Structure 1
Amino acid sequence: MSEVLLHYTRGGKVESQHRADIAVVDAKGKNIWEFGDGSRSMFWRSAAKPFQVLPLIERGGIELFGLSNEEVAFMVSSHSGEAQHVELAHRILGKVDLTIDALACGAAKPMNSKVAKELTIQKQPYQVVHNACSGKHSGMLALAQMLKVAIEGYTELEHPVQQLMYQAVADSANLPKNDIDTGIDGCGVPVFYLPIYNMAWAYARLVKPEEGNWGARENYVRVIRDSMLAYPQVVAGSKRFDTVLMEITKGRILAKIGTEAIYCLGSVPDGIGITFKIDDGSYRAVAPAGIAILKKLDLISTSEHQALLEQFSHTLKNHRGDVIGTVESTI
């Protein structure tokens, strides 16, 4: 059962709490630490993206379409809809001989509030390229083109693209495919339901592929990891926790969010994967939870911890700027 991880205080009294489950696993599958129920099953949401792109990479998609590491990073992103992200969507689709009309993720408000405001001022509609999952969908379309299968229906579970990704996700998590249930993600494609322990194990294998028993896939997994670490701004966006964390740790910690506050981290030098799920799905809890967990496990230095707190303060202020409370971890 999940346990209380964060207290939000006001006037020295607890006003709100966030419960969580945490699994910490090494690349061999050893359980390092857990909080709450480390075996809890949950939808992996967008944190599964690094493994969904694996079929395209291992089949030679980089070479066939001339994809850059930046474009690979975009395919695993949950991006903010900034100009760089929009340009990458157009660039990838151009390389696979498609246009944004092929994207079936749906138009969405950009996660970057400044971009959303600018579009409103200019009376421009939100587009599919602003959708945080347009990178993943671009990769799916690239795979469909590579396989020479119809792009129509590429979001359906029965489509060859989704079946290959389903199997890759299962392989990455060291689970039989039939043991992973599916639902529908916010962008219309299958989403995977599995224990957070296996998610953490997959991230440990991702950040240290030489210890992850990937076999022939090892170098392809390394490409995905290195692309994410080289382009943290692409993976998320300006002032986002994923991006800031990877920048502050200079690529030592890999990070990827999923909707409903499922979150995955990996320590590259240690080969440790971390998955936590905030029980109520609150996005506000993600950064303080991630920082607290990394501090607890001694995976960030004192200076890195301070730098993160400067960007994601644990002090709560009101609209006048008065300090009125704190965010406190129980670990």
Structure 2
Amino acid sequence: MDTAIAEIERGGRVESRHAGTAVVVDADGDVVFALGDIALPTYPRSAVKAFLALPLVESGAAERLGLDDEELALACASHNGEPAHVTVAARMLGRAGRNVACLECGTHWPTNADAAHALARSGGEPNALHNNCSGKHAGFVCLACDQEQDLAGYIHPAHPIMREVTAALADVTDAAHGEDNRGIDGCSIPTYAIPMRALAHGFARFGTGHGLGRERARAAARLRTAVANAPFMVGGSGRFDTVLMQALGSAVFSKMGAEGIMAASLPEQGLGIAVKCHDGAPRAAEVAMATLLMRFLGPEARDHTVLRDLATHDIRNWNGMTVGRVRAAPFI
């Protein structure tokens, strides 16, 4: 039977539950907390964008191209497509002597409603820079240009750049990434189903450098610093990851993925956390993650206003009345 990670309360009763899996692992791979089937292969989707950015940094490409904190944070991002995100993505491409025409992530309207409405009012049309993955793809372009690789088809598994970043994924998570567990992500690059335990272990290693080579550990630290210094780039206005890291800084590295995936590194505690809501609901994964952070960051985290707010969401009706709430299940 599935295990609930979040509950919806209305009128003093539990109206519905979201089933899921949650796991906390230390940098040695030992399980500290588990709920559900932690061996379940799951697509981490955008949660592993920072792992994909490791070759950009450890190769020296980021330094040679002069990528700053905002640009490196955007390489790890699933952003809202707000003007600042679009500007930084274009700036990244400019460092490599390229422009939006080379991006192979596809086009969609900004996911932030205000940004989308402003673009529409201006008579503008979205382009690939507005894609929530444009920073990640700009990072691939920067790496390819630094290595003098042909950019065409960089999204395909056989391209040298995609082989390089896939190898980084396999190294950090210590899980196989091959054709038999490969799918295609929303931005057209491969995504690989791996056990939830492996995902959490990867985040523990990313947060501590333990078990990674010296240059890879240094690259992970550089990316964590960039994100801590520019958390707006990772998500944007109102987004869980941005709100969390604006409040807690380098104490947490957090990254969401599509279909109810959340993952986080706790560098000081040496822990990695992975949460999956089985029905894909972000609201469930977010409250479960916030509750686990309150539990594992230490006693002072339980009183942190931002964490408390993220761990419980009010539900309001069309008249603005508070009619219920979303909260983590008791098992969390």
TM over 0.5: yes
Could you tell me whether the CA contact under 8 Å between 2:78 and 2:235 is conserved in 1? Answer: yes
Residues 64-143 of structure 1: pairs in structure 2 closer than 5 A:
64-143=64-143
Residue 268 of structure 2 aligns to a residue in which SS?
Answer: coil
1:175 shift after superposition: 2.5
Matching residue of 1:281: 280
How far does residue 207 in structure 1 lie from its aligned partner after superposition?
1.2
Determine the structure 1 residue equivalent to 2:44: 44
1:246 matched to 2:245? The reply is: yes
1:271 aligns with 2:270: yes
Give the Cα separation in 2 of the matches to 1:213 and 1:159: 24
Partner Cα distance (1:13, 1:271) in 2: 37
Cα pair 1:180 1:194 within 8 Å, conserved:
no
1:112-156 deviations in Å (ceiling 9; x for gaps): 111011112222212111100000100111111122121111111
Q: Does 1:220 align with 2:219?
A: yes
CA distance, structure 2, for counterparts of residue 2 and residue 249 of structure 1 = 32
Which consecutive residues of structure 2, in runs of 5 or more, have no partner in the other structure? Answer: none
1:270-309 equivalence runs, <5 A:
270-299=269-298, 301-304=301-304, 306-309=305-308
Deviations 1:264-300 (A, max 9, x none): 0111210100000011001222322222222333546
d(CA) in 2 for partners of 1:319 and 1:239? Answer: 20
Per-residue deviation, residues 177-236 of structure 1 (Å, max 9, x unmatched): 449721100011111110111111111111112x34433422122111211222111111
Once the two structures are superposed, residues 52-72 of structure 1 have per-residue CA deviations (whole angstroms, 9 ceiling, x without a partner) of: 111121111122211112211
Aligned partner of 2:164 in structure 1 is 164
**Secondary structure at the counterpart of residue 249 of structure 2:** coil
Seen in structure 2, the aligned counterparts of structure 1 residues 297 and 229 have a Cα distance that, compared at 3 Å, is: same
Equivalent residue number for residue 206 of structure 1: 206
TM-score after normalising by structure 1:
0.94
In the alignment, residue 229 of structure 1 is paired with which amino acid?
Answer: A
- SS of 1:314's equivalent in the other structure is strand
Paired letter, 2:201: W
CA–CA distance in structure 2, aligned partners of residues 177 and 307 of structure 1: 36
Asked whether the 8 Å contact 2:39–2:196 carries over to 1, the reply is: yes
Change (3 A) 1:73 1:184: same
Q: Percent identity?
A: 33
- Whole-angstrom distance in 2 between the partners of 1:307 and 1:37: 29
Gaps of 5+ in 1: none
